Amino acid sequence: MGILIAAAGHRRLRVIGLAAAILAAGAVPAAALSAGTYRGRTSQHEQASARVQAGTVRTLRIAWIAYCTRTQAVLGTAAHPLATVHTNISLTRQGRWSARGAYTASSGNGYTERFHVSDHGAVTARHGVRGVFTGKVRVYDTASGAYVDTCSSGRITFTARRAG
C-alpha cells in the first residue's frame, strides 16, 4: 500500500490507501540497489527525487506540467509545476517498480481537477533512479460539474543520481 500526494502551487491533497502495483514479490538483494537520496531532472526539465531504503522507494517526487487539448491552457509552470509524490513503493529483486494512482484536487479558481498518474522505473547502483511518468488531468467546472478539458503531460522520462 502507498500514499499518494499531489501538490501544485496552492493545491495540496493527500490520498491514502492507493496501492502501488508490484511487478514481482521478494526481497531485494543489497547489491541490486543503493539506499540513499537521489536528485535529478525530468525530460520536461523539472525536478525529480527519490529516497530509497530497504528495498522500498520511500518517496518518489516528480514535478510536471500538463498541456490541455481544448483550451490550450497549461497546468503548472516552471515556477509552480504540478507535483506527484508516491510513497512506500516496493521494489522487485531487480530493483524495478510500477505505481499508479488517482486523486481529485480543487484548482482554487472554480475548477476541480481529476488526476490519473502512473510511473515505472528502476533503481540500480550503476545508474541511480530512472523511470517514466505520465499524468492526465480531467478538468471540470466546480459549480456546474461540466467537463471543461483534458490535460496531459505526455511521456516524461526522469533520471536521478545519488545526492551528496
pLDDT of 126-160, one tens digit each? 889 999 999 999 999 999 999 999 999 999 999 99
Cell of 78: 516552471
DSSP letter string over 127-151? Answer: TEEEEEEEEEEEEEETTT--EEEEE
- Is residue 30, in this structure, part of any structural domain at all? no
Grid cell 536528485 is found at 39
Would residue 29 count as lying in a domain? no
Where residue 33 falls among pLDDT bands split at 50, 70, 90? low
Q: Looking at the domain assignment, is residue 77 inside a domain?
A: yes
pLDDT digits (tens, 9 = 90+) for 100-134: 999 999 988 999 999 999 999 999 888 899 999 99
Query: Which range (9-23, 79-93, 113-127) has the least confidence?
Result: 9-23
Domain membership flag for residue 134: yes
User: And the C-alpha cell for 5?
Assistant: 500526494
**Residue 117, domain member (yes or no):** yes
Mean per-residue pLDDT, 53-73: 96
Q: What's the domain count of the chain? A: 1
* CA 133 to each of CA 81, 84, 88, 130: distance values in angstroms, whole numbers, following the listed order: 14, 10, 17, 10
Q: Where in the sequence is the domain holding 146, given as residue range(s)?
A: 2-24+35-162
Statement: the pTM of the whole predicted model exceeds 0.85:
no
What's the rounded Cα separation, in Å, for the pair 82 and 9?
Answer: 7
